[in-house]
Structure 1
Amino acid sequence: MNPRESILELSRRMSASIIGQEEVVERLLLTLLCNGNALLEGLPGLAKTRAIKTLSENLQSDFSRIQFTPDLLPADITGSEMYLGENASERFQFQAGPIFANLVLADEINRSPAKVQAALLEAMEERQVTVAGKTHKMPALFMVLATQNPIEQEGTYPLPEAQMDRFLMHITMTYPDDASEKAIVRLVRRETSAATEQANPEIIPQNAIFQAREEIDAVSISDAMEDYLVALIAATRRPAELDADLARWIQVGASPRGSLALDKASRAYAWLQGEDHVTPDHLRAIVHDCLRHRLGLTYEAVAEGVTADDVITRIVNGVPVA
């Protein structure tokens, strides 16, 4: 299989296990292809953990799960220097933490205070961890998938804006439709049946991801599409130029990381669709996932029940294509 066929096969396998969440599966693969990290938000029981585990099971990778709790320490994530004793040739040796894996599930990340959440920052952005003055590189294939529950806020710590900005995408998970719900019940029934024997398909090699990234780098984006991309970002920073309501709703616009995320994700999305160039439809398809966590809304917007998605939709409808 060529790289695109391998990624589409990986998508097919994940969608067969994560029923009714095809868009979430697609966004996770886009994040991996863009060498980014994702924040997955959804109610309990919507298969957030199952999604990343299914990805790991079908892709050649090491999987690590970190359950965030209020008593977690930064060293519990990054690792620490272990004392080996006076007679050892080296008195201290670095013991790697669970962050050193290909696919890292940071489960309920908002259950730990900021200093623990910040332990992920260097790994997520710079693909390295510094402990006791020594730098330790992350694997070549590396992605953090952090999850959080949108309704349970007691005993949680909101993610700092600096950390939110480091997620390529903020993916939201919703309830499946009735037909998918029925299929989920049947799937789990088959999985729990002792008589069911499932053949393990061939694992997708890591090299397929690296080759896919090289092909994505070759996807072109015209000057007109770059102008459209920049105009979408500019509308979050100077909303009064587009819409009086947007000016009341937006307090903080998207940073340059938002532009970079749109550029990377739109080219990866175009490649996934079999295209060699970016169109306005490609940008519109991923703009909500790339920007919903990068906007700071005013108290007035919150009081009126306006969400970040509402704001982005208003911007998309108002910004003309160059």
Structure 2
Amino acid sequence: MKYDKSMEGMIELAAALRAELGRVVIGQEAVLDLVLAGVLCQGHILLEGVPGIGKTLIARTAAATMALEYRRLQFTPDLMPADIIGTSMLDETGGGYKLRFEQGPVFANIVLADEINRASPKTQSALLEAMQERSVTVRGATMALPSPFMVLATQNPLEMEGTYPLPEAQIDRFMFKVVLEHPSHAELSGILEQSVGLGEPVARVVASAEALLDLQKACRQVVAPPDLVSFVSRLVLATQPGRPDSPARVRSYGRYGAGPRGAQSLLLAAKAAALLAGRFHAGIADVERFVLPALRHRVSVNFEAQIDGVKPEDLIQDALVYAHSHADQVPGLGPRAEAVAVPSAAAPGTAAGGGTPAAAAAGRV
């Protein structure tokens, strides 16, 4: 499959991928943007939502549009690490015996880990270690996972009985935590017309695995100016309750805030947002677009916050306001430099609407 390796060609390829995802999956526009951004950034995504709102379809369609191998793994309490990674089997060949490694479902490009919080902590750790290292170790031998490699993990926020919540250190390995919503009336009508008709649309291959690797390189080549780096740093530090200059609600209600990995994820996500919008440089609007999914699982609130109904998203919004109020201390940034609308990933060059910082772009995901 031929493709243009220039930055302009990479932008066109990203737009084509996004358009194909939107053709097959009706609704969940913000989620599709985040999944594609996760692919561009080589990041993993935690999807939180009730069953039946398209999580499996999104993962399967993303793999199909990029000619990637897709595997789905249902997590249950009796699932063992070997069921994920694979196991050594005794193989009789040529009159002798030798151990042969049978690869598990983690050896795929896109792995859907359904209801990850239903497996035991030991089994969760096996997958999360593979996510971090992008390799597995069996009997002292290290085997690399396919490239590209991405995990989409799901959890149901309503059914908590018999689950094992992910520890903070492990949940931090996910680049995004996305909260899926029920479809609107128009979206549900479209889903019904499409799914109960003569046949659902089949995703077309838009990019090869080789093209996707070049697209990931192009994402990192998007320019993030020093003033934007400083803005992200100030924003992330403002989520930490132990800092005397953090916002008041962060100091009162925060248990812990985001760290360096959160800042890295947010800045890289801003680069992906710029690429999807058809630009070679990232700005504050790109940070606002993905700030909630990049940080919500990295900010925790204390017991008093739970009593008063204060959520991590509230503290992140306070930190965002704080970062904007101090933007005049950063060279090249005025206090209202963020008021530029973010172009839609599905239609580069068109405005995505206005509103208060981050509320319109990030509030739904």
Per the TM superposition, whether the score is higher than 0.5 is: yes
What are the ranges of 5 or more consecutive residues in structure 2 without an aligned counterpart? Answer: 4-8, 331-365
Q: 1:55 aligns with which of 41, 59, 62?
A: 62
Q: Is contact 2:237–2:259 with CA below 8 Å preserved after alignment? A: no
Q: What is aligned with 2:345?
A: none
Distance, in Å, in 2 between the alignment partners of 1:88 and 1:129 is 30
Deviations 1:211-258 (CA, angstroms, capped at 9, x unpaired):
212222221111111111100111112454132222111111112110
Q: What is aligned with 1:127?
A: 134
The answer to which of 207-216 and 223-232 deviates more is 207-216
CA apart distance, 1:96: 0.7
Q: What is aligned with 1:218?
A: 221
Q: Is contact 2:24–2:201 with CA below 8 Å preserved after alignment? A: no
Question: How big is the alpha-carbon RMSD for the aligned residues of Structure 1 and Structure 2?
Answer: 1.8
Do structure 1's residue 206 and structure 2's residue 209 form an aligned pair?
yes
Do structure 1's residue 17 and structure 2's residue 17 form an aligned pair?
no
Q: What is aligned with 1:84?
A: 91
Q: Is contact 2:64–2:205 with CA below 8 Å preserved after alignment? A: no
Letter in 2 for 1:32: V
Do structure 1's residue 118 and structure 2's residue 121 form an aligned pair?
no
Letter in 2 for 1:275: R
Deviations 1:238-287 (CA, angstroms, capped at 9, x unpaired):
45413222211111111211011012111111111111212111111111
Do structure 1's residue 27 and structure 2's residue 34 form an aligned pair?
yes
CA apart distance, 1:113: 1.1
Percent of pairs with identical residues: 37
Letter in 1 for 2:34: R
CA apart distance, 1:6: 2.3
CA apart distance, 1:204: 2.3
Distance, in Å, in 1 between the alignment partners of 2:321 and 2:28 is 26
Distance, in Å, in 2 between the alignment partners of 1:16 and 1:137 is 34
Distance, in Å, in 1 between the alignment partners of 2:299 and 2:126 is 23
Q: Is contact 1:20–1:180 with CA below 8 Å preserved after alignment? A: yes
Do structure 1's residue 74 and structure 2's residue 56 form an aligned pair?
no
Q: Is contact 2:64–2:204 with CA below 8 Å preserved after alignment? A: no
Distance, in Å, in 2 between the alignment partners of 1:62 and 1:199 is 16
Q: What is aligned with 1:287?
A: 291
Task: Return the TM-score normalized by structure 1.
Answer: 0.94
SS at match of 1:151: coil
Distance, in Å, in 2 between the alignment partners of 1:177 and 1:296 is 30
Deviations 1:156-183 (CA, angstroms, capped at 9, x unpaired):
1101112101001111111121111111
SS at match of 1:61: coil
Letter in 1 for 2:218: E
Letter in 2 for 1:227: S
Letter in 2 for 1:233: V
The answer to which of 31-40 and 85-94 deviates more is 85-94
Number of residue pairs aligned between Structure 1 and Structure 2:
318
Distance 1:241 1:197, change over 3 A: closer
Letter in 1 for 2:226: D
CA apart distance, 1:202: 4.1
CA apart distance, 1:198: 5.8
Distance, in Å, in 2 between the alignment partners of 1:202 and 1:219 is 25
Q: Is contact 2:111–2:150 with CA below 8 Å preserved after alignment? A: yes
Deviations 1:94-115 (CA, angstroms, capped at 9, x unpaired):
1111000001000010111110
Distance 1:203 1:277, change over 3 A: closer
Task: Return the TM-score normalized by structure 2.
Answer: 0.83
CA apart distance, 1:7: 2.2
Deviations 1:44-89 (CA, angstroms, capped at 9, x unpaired):
2111111101112222111111100000000100012212259766
CA apart distance, 1:300: 0.9
Q: What is aligned with 2:305?
A: 301
